[in-house]
């Protein structure tokens, strides 16, 4: 590691030590229990009972289940359940002023605010540090982050990060990223596949070879990474590729490993169930099911049997480690402006993340210049005006934007309810 990287790593742990090692203690525990032991199984059971007792005593929603101790006796929880009665999920054991507020959109296109305790936030940070190291990304190392969010120059400096904003992905943007990835002395890429794959395809079209880049590893987040995409990234950048399954309201749930390509579940922090698509019963190994998560550290807003909106194939190994063969994350399609410029599908988060009056939505490209915002809610003129104004910021004034109000978002045959769809038969955006 270079001096700047060592300084950042040392500085982080020194600061954490001065604050009582809130992150360090969690990191050491996650590392210790990264493989199952009888001690870990008992600790996880104890934490589940603590979470259940806390939730049934301190939240209006779970109070009706007071005395229940078995996880299977709780109903499956959906995001729209929380939105329908938001205050019922906030724990009376905390004051809002001491909680950490986050915004999340999620698999169903249902934006809402979530609250974390300081302990939960420390756990999240520890999970990221641990799983980054599993993916050859050490704390303090210089890296490129290709997402749709923005950070200040100071934040990027502190985190030793080169932030790339992926919204309009035309050829000029792709060329700039190609040059950046070659110039910057970075060893790791963290990116949404929908933003990184177009860059890789462009670099390959320019006859670039792996020796022109210096990446050690690539970590894809937020979306599924398919096998052919992983092969492309390895072929173009010559790096080891990892796919991470995480959510802002929880943390790192699972990450694939190079040994077998399967996702190993973070069993020290979560209880993960895979349930049948139609019924709330467990699937068998080799079958696809809904990913349902119980977050053992979600005391501020308890998540017990929380349906993530994602699907996965179950694989339970003989060593007792819970693994997932494949995760089908939130389904998103690329959207194109009328002039053919591709837009990262995750820009819709910026449009909808504070529209708290909207329970569910789905944005659809119907034609070259025609778009539809499908909303599960009552007609709200004021919300519609705001949304259309934001959409035109990205799509331009030559686009036609319609609104449709529906009772539900119909699932695809896979069971997913994508929040961005492209129904326009487009090739390269034309």
CATH fold of 1-330 reads Rossmann fold (3.40.50)
As given in the structure block, the two tokens for residue 325 are 């063969």
Give the tens place of pLDDT for each residue, 243-263: 999 988 899 999 987 767 788
pTM above 0.85, yes or no: no
Collect contacts of 89-98 with beta carbons under 8 A, ≥24 apart.
89/59, 89/60, 89/61, 89/301, 89/302, 90/59, 90/115, 90/300, 90/301, 91/54, 91/55, 91/58, 91/59, 91/299, 91/300, 91/301, 91/302, 92/58, 92/59, 93/54, 93/58, 93/299, 94/299, 94/300
Give the tens place of pLDDT for each residue, 296-324: 999 999 999 999 888 888 887 655 567 88
Task: Give residue 103's pLDDT.
Answer: 75
According to DSSP, residue 324 is labeled E
Distance CA 133, CA 75 (A): 36
Beta-strand (E) ranges in 267-416? 270-275, 288-295, 306-316, 322-328, 335-336, 342-343, 360-365, 370-376, 400-406
Distance CA 273, CA 254 (A): 13
Residue 202: enclosing H or E segment and its boundaries? Answer: helix 193-205
Terminal C-alpha separation, the chain:
45
Residue 244: enclosing H or E segment and its boundaries? Answer: strand 240-246
Q: How far is CA 359 from CA 49, 51, 83, 323, in A?
A: 31, 27, 7, 32
Spatial CA neighbour of 199 closest among 227, 240, 166: 166
Q: Please report, for the chain, how many H helices and E strands are present, in that order.
A: 11, 19
Distance CA 23, CA 16 (A): 7
Beta-strand (E) ranges in 356-399? 360-365, 370-376
CATH node for 335-422: 3.30.300.30
User: Domain-by-domain residue ranges, the chain?
Assistant: 1-330, 335-422
Task: Give residue 331's pLDDT.
Answer: 52
Q: How far is CA 216 from CA 131, 185, 211, 403, in A?
A: 15, 11, 12, 45
- Please work out, in degrees rounded to the nearest 5, the angle formed at the alpha carbon of residue 163 by the alpha carbons of 340 and 189: 90
Task: Give residue 125's pLDDT.
Answer: 95
Q: Tell me if 80 sits within 8 A of 361, measured CB to CB.
A: no
As given in the structure block, the two tokens for residue 395 are 């799509």
Q: How far is CA 24 from CA 13, 79, 109, 244, 268, in A?
A: 7, 31, 34, 21, 15
Task: Give me the residues of the chain with pLDDT under 70, please.
Answer: 1, 105-112, 148-150, 259, 317-321, 329-332, 345-346, 359, 410-417, 425-430
């Amino acid at each position: 590691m270079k001096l700047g990287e060592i300084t950042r790593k040392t500085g982080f742990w020194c600061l954490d030590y001065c604050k009582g090692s809130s992150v360090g203690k969690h990191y050491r525990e996650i590392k210790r229990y990264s493989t199952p032991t009888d001690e870990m199984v008992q600790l996880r059971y104890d934490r589940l009972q603590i979470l259940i007792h806390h939730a049934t005593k301190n939240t209006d929603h779970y109070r009706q289940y007071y005395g229940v101790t078995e996880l299977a006796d709780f109903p499956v929880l959906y995001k729209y359940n929380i939105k329908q009665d938001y205050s019922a999920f906030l724990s009376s054991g905390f004051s809002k002023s001491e909680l950490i507020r986050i915004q999340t959109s999620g698999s169903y296109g249902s934006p809402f605010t979530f609250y974390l305790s300081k302990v939960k936030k420390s756990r999240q940070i520890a999970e990221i540090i641990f799983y980054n190291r599993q993916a050859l990304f050490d704390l303090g190392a210089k890296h490129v982050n290709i997402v749709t969010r923005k950070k200040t120059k100071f934040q990027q400096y502190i985190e030793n990060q080169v932030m790339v904003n992926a919204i309009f992905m035309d050829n000029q943007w792709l060329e700039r990223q190609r040059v950046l990835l070659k110039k910057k002395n970075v060893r790791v890429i963290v990116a949404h596949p929908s933003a990184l794959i177009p860059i890789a395809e462009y670099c390959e079209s320019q006859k670039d070879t792996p020796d022109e880049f210096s990446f050690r590893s690539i970590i894809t987040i937020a979306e599924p990474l398919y096998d052919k995409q992983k092969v492309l990234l390895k072929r173009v950048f010559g790096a080891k590729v990892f796919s991470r399954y995480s959510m802002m309201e929880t943390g790192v749930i699972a990450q694939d490993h190079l040994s077998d390509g399967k996702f190993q579940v973070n069993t020290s922090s979560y209880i993960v169930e895979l349930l049948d698509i139609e019924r709330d019963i467990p699937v068998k190994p080799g079958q696809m099911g809904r990913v349902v998560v119980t977050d053992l550290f979600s005391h501020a807003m308890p998540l017990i049997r929380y349906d993530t909106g994602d699907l996965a194939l179950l694989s339970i190994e003989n060593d007792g480690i819970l693994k997932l063969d494949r995760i089908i994350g939130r389904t998103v399609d690329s959207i194109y402006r009328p002039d053919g410029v591709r837009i990262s599908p995750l820009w819709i988060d910026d449009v909808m993340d504070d529209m708290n009056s909207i329970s569910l939505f789905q944005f659809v490209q119907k034609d070259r210049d025609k778009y539809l915002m499908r909303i599960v809610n009552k007609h709200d003129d004021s919300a519609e005006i705001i949304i259309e104004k934001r959409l035109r910021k990205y799509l331009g004034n030559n686009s036609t934007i319609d609104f449709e109000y529906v009772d539900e978002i119909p699932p695809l045959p896979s069971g997913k309810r994508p929040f961005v769809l492209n129904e326009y038969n487009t090739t390269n955006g034309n």
